[in-house]
Amino acid sequence: MIKAPPWGRNMAVRTKLVAGNWKMNGLRADGSALARALTERWTAARSERPGCQPLLCPPSTLLAMVRDILAGSGIALGGQDCHPAPKGAFTGDVSPEMLADAGCSHVILGHSERRHGHGETDAEVREKVTGAWRAGLVAVVCVGETLAQRRAESANTVVAAQITGSIPDGATAANLVVAYEPVWAIGSGLTATLEDIAAMHADIRSRVAAGTRILYGGSVNPQNAAGILGLAEVDGALVGGASLDADSFWSIARCCP
């Protein structure tokens, strides 16, 4: 069992978490160049480091390589999904224990690309979270409404149901991060307004353990990051497309106050 990361323990100060979700992108050459560029920036910045904890979530094929590049840097490593079981006849799946063994401290679960692209249900996400905790991983559970649901003014109801359905009993600020990602904002170039982000984060905060980090995700980029990360209700960002470019990801990280 791996130990809880140090930034997960001090709940009085919620260091912002800036997570890069590389999705199904990156061959060894691109992945190593990106991880090296970020490690060099993070290491060189030292006294002027952004006030955040960076987390990189590469595809499973790159985990071991990226782990070796990040070693000792303080940049954390995460998986993008996992099977609930520790091992077994589940061709193509990766277990939470395998992610922990590969050096991960976190795993993204219930991303909308899995909920909507793979029909993953709240109950399935919940089982995966239980598996992640068994392996000592912090679960980064994604929630968010579709455009139709927002237009129907049911965004809060939808997100509340996802939280209830996807997060098992036993969630704490140390084992859970929630990522609010409006489905319509992911990869679309659209972002929720700062008012809507703040309101949704406040609603989510009322439903999770005190001190739980709540990230915003959905087309975060160097231009909009300062506004989003400047909100007191926002404890970091889950970044997709912009995390594939070292300058962009670094610019976003530097927006952490």
Contact criterion met (CB below 8 Å) for 6 and 216: no
Please, is 232 exposed, middle or buried when counting C-beta atoms within 10 Å of its C-beta (0-12, 13-18, 19+)? exposed
Task: State the minimum distance, in angstroms, from the CB of residue 79 to ligand PEP.
Answer: 14
Question: By CB under 6 A, which span of 4-12, 121-129, 205-213, 218-226 interacts with ligand PEP?
Answer: 218-226
Q: How far is the CB of 46 from ligand PEP (least distance, A)?
A: 28
Binding mask 85-114 for ligand PEP (x = CB under 6 A): --------------------------x---
Draw the binding track, 165-194, toward ligand PEP (x: CB under 6 A; -: no contact): ----------------x----xx-------
Cβ atoms within 10 Å, residue 171: 18
Determine whether 181 is an active site residue. Answer: yes
Q: Does 253 bind ligand PEP (CB under 6 A)?
A: no
3-state secondary structure of 5: coil
CA–CA dist 100, 88 (Å, integer): 16
Active site residue 111: yes
**Minimum distance of ligand PEP from residue 155's CB (angstroms):** 16
Q: How far is the CB of 42 from ligand PEP (least distance, A)?
A: 20
Distances in whole angstroms, Cα of residue 123 to Cα of each of 115, 129, 161, 163: 11, 10, 11, 11
Residue 214 binds ligand PEP, judged by CB under 6 A: no
Q: Is 222 in the site for ligand PEP (CB under 6 A)?
A: no
> Which of 43, 69, 35, 48 is CA-nearest to residue 254?
48
